[in-house]
Structure 1
């Protein structure tokens, strides 16, 4: 199964109760994570690099270096911006005077055309003389869907402060509801069973819950990009033969940690009852649950 490149954009805003984030509910008809509350996002398409001509703030080389990529990091950011506009109706762009867009900007009438693929983000930027300030996005994380689901994604997570002059609205197709919640509220809703949240969403919310303002949050994110995340098959031993573990497999993270050179010296399976030293003085012993 192919693992699709994807991008997600976490939108945050300050309120009297502290920072809140935007969550969208996926349609119950979705093949992947039906009914789950997620951040705006989706697949990176072949047209994203055309948007680089309308991007400002950071060059692809700098963005890609931060994301531990050879090139194309800016395309992930542009995909996140595009998907956020399609799914949530909020576009992180500025006009020719450098002003953020408001809810009455005419580009909002082209939202559906962008969703249907009749227009690209680059074409919209050209039509309305807009630019995308990529320096306003912070790189937040990297998640790969583990084996098992009908679709798998290699997803980069970004975060940005929502422009004050635009209002969020779900698209009614891929997303059927939207809500602004504090990270703590969203996590409590998940624990109580009121909302379905995936593991990447939960992990991201736990990071965001540590901050009292969007300024502090964005300052931290820009200063502390996540560590590079292995996303290629890793060699390991299974029945005395070398096999390749896919990202997300049960023993994948352990194999990468214990065999960083990829020599194929670790086991491909988590074996109950077999002790494995995962760090100095730390032994992992799995029960036969």
Structure 2
């Protein structure tokens, strides 16, 4: 089982959960973020999207065809430029982490084919998933559910710069908040959570009120170009998932991140 990304980095998946909102009386896009607690070993106090590392339980086993609906792992492999095995693990990691950290479940009921609208009935599984006492596969089989791989869309791929302590190859996905579900932020990894316009988060960073890593900053910067979930999804249909291997310091689009004169005020 190959679990490494580019340059031997650890594979990871993160999800930008978005919804349509009204900002200053005008329709606009909102994205769900979390501020990590100060005790986290990686990126303490940083504002991030729900996500985490891929682990062995995310890779396919003989049950996987029973609990998967939507584009196949083989189709995902072509979109993500990976093997089918890794593509499966990335999709499962993204859906699992979103459920663990935000309580949002991208799945449907096997018997009726209806999307899960009340995910709270499954929230008792969240600590079991976080502690690795149970896999997402086991939960889905027990509750007669299947993941919906068509409910997430690839957005970007960032690899940690060489020499950094936390070396991840992170695949970022977009998911629209499912009808009837609202993220609750009940995770020990976050001190605060919520939906915000991407532009407001960037303003908070400029004022020194938020801590962002380049991959999050860049994703928020890109999101400011869109004002609805439909507009965003249309724009990223054929998103380039080639990895950004360096820290993007030479990319003029992200110059502000490296050159801004800011002081953290928390």
TM over 0.5: yes
- Retained in 1: the 8 A contact 2:104–2:119? no
Kindly report which structure 2 residues correspond to 1:143-154, keeping only aligned pairs within 5 A, or say none: 143-154=158-169
What SS does structure 1 have at the residue aligned with 2:56? Answer: coil
Whole-Å separation in 2 of the counterparts to 1:86 and 1:146: 27
What SS does structure 2 have at the residue aligned with 1:225? Answer: coil
What SS does structure 2 have at the residue aligned with 1:28? Answer: coil
What SS does structure 2 have at the residue aligned with 1:146? Answer: coil
Larger radius of gyration: 1
Kindly report which structure 2 residues correspond to 1:115-264, keeping only aligned pairs within 5 A, or say none: 115-222=130-237, 224-229=238-243, 247-248=245-246
Whole-Å separation in 2 of the counterparts to 1:60 and 1:129: 20
For structure 1, list consecutive stretches of 5 or more residues without a partner in the other structure. Answer: 231-246, 255-289
1:25 Cα offset (Å): 1.0
Aligned to 2:21: 15
Kindly report which structure 2 residues correspond to 1:16-165, keeping only aligned pairs within 5 A, or say none: 16-17=22-23, 18-50=28-60, 52-53=64-65, 54-71=67-84, 72-96=86-110, 97-103=112-118, 105-165=120-180
Question: How many aligned residue pairs are there?
Answer: 236
Change (3 A) 1:104 1:38: closer
- Retained in 1: the 8 A contact 2:103–2:119? no
Whole-Å separation in 1 of the counterparts to 2:215 and 2:166: 15
Q: Deviations over 1:102-129 (max 9, x none)?
A: 3464211211111111111011111111
Looking at secondary structure, tell me which structure has more helix per residue.
2
Structure 1, 168-177 or 157-166: larger mean CA deviation? 168-177
For structure 2, list consecutive stretches of 5 or more residues without a partner in the other structure. Answer: 1-6, 252-266
Q: Pick 1 or 2: higher relative contact order, CA cutoff 8 A, min separation 6.
A: 2
For the aligned residue pairs, the C-alpha RMSD in angstroms reads 2.2
Change (3 A) 1:135 1:249: closer
Whole-Å separation in 2 of the counterparts to 1:80 and 1:138: 11
Change (3 A) 1:74 1:219: farther
Q: Tell me the TM-score normalized by structure 2.
A: 0.82
Change (3 A) 1:57 1:249: closer
Q: Tell me the TM-score normalized by structure 1.
A: 0.76
